[in-house]
């Protein structure tokens, strides 16, 4: 998602994410966010009400659910390998782009009431998109799977999410020299092979 730095709301949201990721939620004031965005504190209050209001709006603006929904609506070709590869690559690109939002979630999730709920809307929506996709593929006879489709969607989500977290937050490069693209390709091939196996 492109940030329009001529737009007051975008500047405020971008400033809030940068400052909170760097200093922590409690250490950043609304005055500081407004100053960073080159607006008055009153403008911040008019747009978002509170510091938590601006953080929640920033999560919704910069996290991935809208972009992923567009991807499912416009780019799915109903080919298991092509689709899962495209979804995985888009997911990792968006997560990398929104790394500061995810960092805030890790640092502040237990200290800000409702923050986890706000953040968890996004993977929940992606899970629903994946469930729909897998059910459609099954109905079209393009994959074989007799188990719980939500479990299948969550296995896929945990796989791509786990790779992102390992790679970006816990120095996963020290565990393996395999690059992210190679990992995604291998993981998708395993998924596709398992789902195309005859009963």
Domains of the chain: 8-60 (1.10.10.60), 63-196 (1.10.357.10)
Report residue 95's pLDDT band, with 50, 70 and 90 as the boundaries. confident
- Tell me what the pLDDT averaged over the chain comes to: 87
pLDDT at 126 over 80: yes
Distances (CA, A) of 185 to 83, 89, 150, 182, 191: 12, 9, 22, 5, 10
How much is the pLDDT for 128?
95
Report residue 93's pLDDT band, with 50, 70 and 90 as the boundaries. confident
User: What are 112-119's contacts with CB under 8 Å, separation 24+?
Assistant: 112/25, 112/52, 112/55, 114/52, 114/56, 115/55, 115/56, 115/59, 118/56, 118/59, 118/60, 119/59, 119/63
Per residue in 128-183, pLDDT (tens digit) is 999 999 999 999 999 999 889 999 999 999 998 888 888 777 665 677 778 888 98
Q: Which of 53-57, 127-131, 170-174, 189-193 has the highest mean pLDDT?
A: 127-131
Which range has the worst mean pLDDT, 34-38, 95-99, 132-136, 172-176? 172-176
Whole-number Å distance between alpha carbons of 88 and 183? 10
pLDDT at 198 over 60: no
pLDDT at 1 over 50: no
Q: Which pTM value belongs to this model?
A: 0.81
pLDDT at 100 over 70: yes
Work out the average pLDDT over 120-135: 92
Work out the average pLDDT over 2-18: 79
Work out the average pLDDT over 28-36: 94
């Amino acid at each position: 998602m492109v940030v329009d730095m001529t737009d007051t709301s975008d500047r405020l949201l971008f400033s809030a994410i940068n400052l909170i990721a760097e200093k922590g939620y409690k250490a950043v004031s609304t005055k500081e966010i407004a100053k960073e965005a080159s607006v008055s504190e009153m403008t911040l209050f008019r747009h978002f009400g509170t510091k938590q209001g601006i953080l929640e709006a920033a999560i919704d603006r910069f996290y991935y659910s809208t972009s992923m929904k567009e991807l499912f609506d416009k780019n799915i070709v109903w080919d298991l390998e092509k689709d899962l590869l495209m979804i995985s690559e888009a997911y990792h690109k968006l997560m990398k782009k929104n790394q500061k939002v995810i960092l805030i979630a890790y640092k502040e999730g237990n200290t800000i009431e409702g923050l986890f709920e706000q953040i968890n809307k996004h993977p929940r929506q992606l899970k629903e998109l994946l469930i729909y996709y897998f059910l459609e593929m099954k109905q079209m006879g393009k994959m074989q799977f007799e188990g719980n489709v939500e479990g299948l969607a969550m296995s896929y989500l945990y796989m791509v999410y786990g790779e992102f977290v390992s790679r970006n937050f816990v120095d996963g490069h020290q565990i393996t020299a395999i690059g992210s693209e190679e990992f995604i390709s291998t993981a998708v091939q395993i998924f596709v092979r398992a789902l195309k196996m005859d009963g």
